[in-house]
Amino acid sequence: MRSPLRPPAAVGFIGVGNMGRLMAPHLVAAGYRVYAADNYEETLRKFLAAHRGTIALSYNDHGAALDAVITMLPDGNVVREVLLGGGLADRLRPGTIVIDMSSSDPVGTRALGEVLAKRDVHLVDAPVSGGVKRAADASLATMIGGTAEIIERARPLIATMAKQVFLTGPLGSGHAMKALNNLVSAAGLWIAAEALLAGKQFGLAPETMVDVLNASTGRNTSTENKFKQQILSRGFASGFSLGLMAKDLRTAERLAKTTGAFSQLTQLCAKIWGDAAQALGEAEDHTAVVKFLERASGTTLGP
């Protein structure tokens, strides 16, 4: 077994946007040599300027020097395009580990893993949960799928950015778990919003309802961490977009269909969040989905 990837190993970090820009600096602070890339030149420029010692990743110049590649991108299609369409995979040396921390489709992840294996490049899926706040303080939760040996080699890298590490099984299982987690999260937010709107129209104060829910069996992560902080305040700035949530729910729906699981509520959840994303715009924060329900009910939860 090869040695675990510890500093000063060379790491390509692709995707320094909303989450990646907060995760990659922990690698820099730990002593890893970080080569960064992003589809948006201005995003990359800001990241490189803010973190001295990081280098803009050139596939031609640096690909063969990398010990690992981390992707933090919108979906698995973009990950595949970067690795295969962009030619990075052809430049990686045998034994290199690719860690996909994006929220990708688990079926696509397994297919990509088979393609990379033919190049003797190892793929691990390690999507994260916790949002920008936990990305900033390296307390994210991550769900890891892959072979035991490769995961152990990648673990020091991942632990630099995540506090809670869950081994979920073979390749693709991490991405499956992330999609299913977001399904439960999205369903909880939506039904809580429906309850608060019904309560307000009956005469209950939304703030009081949130307090009661959080002291009772109806509480969930949205009632605890999103309603007062993002929705009632009208901040709508959790750091996770409506479009990405809708995408993750479509992934969960496809997973359920692939496995033959009973999924009536899953299908409904994917549809209504998709409708909301289309109506409000995918760039909206996912907590702004409440605006879609407010329009339909003719009332608002905010002031």
Which class does domain 10-170 fall in? Answer: alpha beta
Contact of 287 with 185, CB cutoff 8 Å: no
**Which of 46, 118, 163, 178 is flagged as catalytic?**
178
First to last CA, the chain: 60
- Distance (Å, whole) CA 139 – CA 186: 21
- Distance (Å, whole) CA 192 – CA 205: 14
pLDDT band at 2 (very low <50, low <70, confident <90, very high): confident
Phi, psi of 244 (to 5 degrees): -70, -35
- 176-297, CATH topology level: N-(1-d-carboxylethyl)-l-norvaline Dehydrogenase; domain 2 (1.10.1040)
Angle CA 145–147–152, to nearest 5: 90
Q: What is the mean pLDDT of residues 149-172?
A: 97
- Distance (Å, whole) CA 84 – CA 248: 23
Q: What is the mean pLDDT of residues 229-236?
A: 97
**50-103: pLDDT as tens digits:** 998 899 999 999 999 999 999 999 999 999 999 999 899 999 999 999 999 999
**35-62: pLDDT as tens digits:** 999 999 999 999 999 998 899 999 999 9
**190-227: pLDDT as tens digits:** 999 999 999 999 999 999 999 999 999 999 999 999 99
- Distance (Å, whole) CA 8 – CA 4: 11
Say whether 178 is catalytic.
yes
- Tell which residue, 150, 147, 136, 175, has the closest CA to residue 23: 136
Q: Enumerate the domain spans of the chain.
A: 10-170, 176-297
